[in-house]
Amino acid sequence: MSWRQDDSRAGGRARISRARTGALGARLGVRLRRGAHDGSPVVAVLLALGAAACGASSASATPPDAIRVGGPSAPGDAKVAIVGSGGDLRGRAFRVVDSSGRAVLRGRLAGAGGSAAPWRHAARADLSRVRAPGAYRVRFGDLTSRPWIVRTNAVSAPIRAILGFFAANADGREPSPAHGPAHLRDAVVATGPHAGEAFDLTGGWMDAGDMLKFTHTTAYAAAALQVAARLDRADAPALTAAADVGVRWLLKAHPAPDLFIAQVGDERDHELGFRDPAGDDASGKVGIATRVAYANIGGDLGGKAAAALALAAERAGAAPASQAASAPALLDAARDWYAAGVAAGGVAPKLGAPSGDFYSGDTAQDALAAGAAALYRVTGERRYLDDALRYLGAITPDGRLGWNAMAGFAAADLCGALGAPGAADRAARATACAALGAQGRAALARARRGAFRTPGDFTWGQTGESSGAGALAAFAGGAIGLPGGLAGGAAARDWLLGRNPWGASFVTGYGPKAPRHPHHWSSLAGPGRPRGAVVGGPAPLADILAQDLGAPRRSPFDTAGATYEDRVDDYVTSEPAIDYAASAVLLLAALAGR
């Protein structure tokens, strides 16, 4: 059994969640709880070993000079290539050539600002003036970049690719290209007044590289996909169809007036390692053949589920024939989740063994703000608007957006940045827009620390954090004209799809050097499976060493603080998750049509 840590420290937020199984079930490593670094001798030794192994700033003293480019980009997007080098290149000439080799732009390199790691220096080549659709390369000295693709509707191809991951992780009888019907006996409630009772909890999404299902990540993903459909009209049918897989399961996750399900499956799933999920029902194994459901509620769970269901209720009111449930049924469920979350008075309690502590929230206000904002939009009831503003007013902006950080989502909704009008009350809308601006500025401040302008800290799940923060910057840039906001969103997209030190996409099956060995059960079917999976991305070397995964395969572009490898055993850098994928889709949609 292994453990997963997501650790985001800015704004006092620390996100801790339990980990995935070792590769192919063959590694059942030591158990390490790495939340507060509680002085465990094993943890201390491993961290010390990690620090000692990282004395140099990178795997090699001087990585080779290189040009890193992003895209695909829309004609009007910011397009900035990064040239990493051992010497200072500021003021040197570069040129941009089209597919025929003809120079279409000439310019001079500017300082990139922030850390140049893993290089000693980094410079920026701005080719934003290149707007005609086509493929372009940046040339400097003897260096030539890979093509930077410019096209209209540039986000559609990566969004469609990432939706493939949601399809692969669909459970129950929801159609999946990766497996047959699975987990059709879900589930029997583990504890509480309904202990021993069976309810239909089939369907939904398996969470990451394994087969458990969680309200936390399902609700966040369903909400993000529905908003993405508002913003990216070209891909809206595919986005809403994907979102409805999560919405249908969230309706099932409240099967009785006093019962709210937070999780299906538990640690026993990990003990079996990678396998075809369609075989679980016939396995005869306790906790696998018939899985256990865990009831739980808190403001974090209730707020997120309310947001996803209220968004679905709004859609159902406009086009009832296309929805999985009626608007009244969806709205009633949203109200129930929200009311239960408020009544809980804080975050959902941690579950005991054998459930595991996979996702433990540390704030209820973020999610309740998002749920209240969505309920206000669909009902028009002032009490929900007042709740949303009250929660927003109590939150310190940290420029984060994800399964455990949804304050920016609420602010963007009430400001009118999510593809629908903002709050009807002008003063409330101004308050929300100010909150969105503060979130966007926080994201951009974090991005300025490095030459590549990724707004995500180097931590477990860096790609999800970077994409969510980039989406906030883009929302603020588009809705209130935050300087650098849209460019910040474009930089986060470029980081995800290849403009990073490794020159690699972090999405399987899409982009340059795409991951071939994700930590996911469908990798048993061959390299690169499943297509569209957004992997965790670079993380501190000490975090990888502390998981007992074996020595990472180092790259010349690694540093102690940012190590990335495409290795199935390494669930720190190579495991995908539906919340990472949802944030990536939301980021891409935020840039659609800008």
Q: HEC states along 401-455?
A: CECCECHHHHHHHHHCCCCCCCCCCHHHHHHHHHHHHHHHHHHHHHHCCECCCCC
Question: Does the pLDDT of residue 35 top 60, yes or no?
Answer: no
**Average pLDDT taken over every residue of the chain:** 89
Cβ neighbors of 368 (< 8 A, separation 6 or more) are 299, 302, 303, 338, 341, 342, 387, 391
Q: Domain containing 122: what range?
A: 66-150
Question: Does the pLDDT of residue 32 top 90, yes or no?
Answer: no
Cα 461 to Cα 574: distance, rounded to the nearest angstrom: 9
CA 177 to chain centre: 22
Q: What is the pLDDT of residues 322-380, one digit of tens each?
A: 566 899 999 999 999 999 999 999 999 999 888 887 898 899 999 999 999 999 999 99
Amino acid at 236: A
Cis amide prior to 257 (ω within 30 degrees):
no
Residue 277 lies in a domain: no
Cα Rg of the chain (Å, integer): 23
Residue 366 lies in a domain: no
Residue 264 lies in a domain: no
CB 6 within 8 A of CB 460: yes
CATH number of the domain where residue 125 is located: 2.60.40.10
75, 203, 225, 334 from 244: Cα distances, Å:
32, 11, 9, 15
Q: What is the pLDDT of residues 369-400, one digit of tens each?
A: 999 999 999 999 999 999 999 999 999 999 99
**Can you name the residues that pair with 108 across neighbouring β-strands?**
93
The domain tally of the chain equals 1
Cα 108 to Cα 200: distance, rounded to the nearest angstrom: 62
Average pLDDT over every residue of 65-85: 97
Average pLDDT over every residue of 198-218: 97
Cβ neighbors of 536 (< 8 A, separation 6 or more) are 460, 461, 462, 463, 464, 571, 572, 573, 574, 575, 576, 577, 580
Cβ neighbors of 312 (< 8 A, separation 6 or more) are 222, 226, 243, 244, 247, 323, 324, 325, 330
Q: Is the pTM of this model over 0.85?
A: yes
At residue 193, φ and ψ (nearest 5 deg) are: -60, -25
36, 60, 112, 543 from 48: Cα distances, Å:
16, 21, 33, 11
**What contacts 24+ positions apart, CB below 8 Å, involve 377-380?**
377/310, 377/314, 377/413, 377/420, 378/310, 378/311, 378/313, 378/314, 378/317, 378/331, 378/334, 379/331, 380/424
Question: Does the pLDDT of residue 49 top 50, yes or no?
Answer: no
Amino acid at 551: A
Residue 106 lies in a domain: yes
Residue 74 lies in a domain: yes
Three-state DSSP state, 153: coil
Question: Does the pLDDT of residue 205 top 70, yes or no?
Answer: yes
Average pLDDT over every residue of 570-585: 97
If one counts every other C-beta atom within 10 angstroms of the C-beta of residue 91, the result is 10
Question: Does the pLDDT of residue 408 top 80, yes or no?
Answer: yes
Of residues 576, 430, 462, the one with CA closest to residue 509: 576
Strands 134-140 and 148-150, by their bridges, are antiparallel
> What pLDDT does 531 receive?
96
Cα 58 to Cα 119: distance, rounded to the nearest angstrom: 9
Q: What is the pLDDT of residues 451-498, one digit of tens each?
A: 999 999 999 999 999 999 999 999 999 999 999 999 999 999 999 999
Helix axes 236-252, 215-231, angle to 10 degrees: 150
Average pLDDT over every residue of 416-441: 97
> What pLDDT does 18 receive?
31
Residue 586 lies in a domain: no
> What pLDDT does 321 receive?
53
Amino acid at 481: G
Question: Does the pLDDT of residue 289 top 50, yes or no?
Answer: yes
> What pLDDT does 444 receive?
98
Strands 121-126 and 213-214, by their bridges, are unpaired
Cα 299 to Cα 405: distance, rounded to the nearest angstrom: 12
> What pLDDT does 61 receive?
66
Q: What is the pLDDT of residues 16-30, one digit of tens each?
A: 333 333 333 332 222
Residues shown for the chain: 594
Amino acid at 457: D
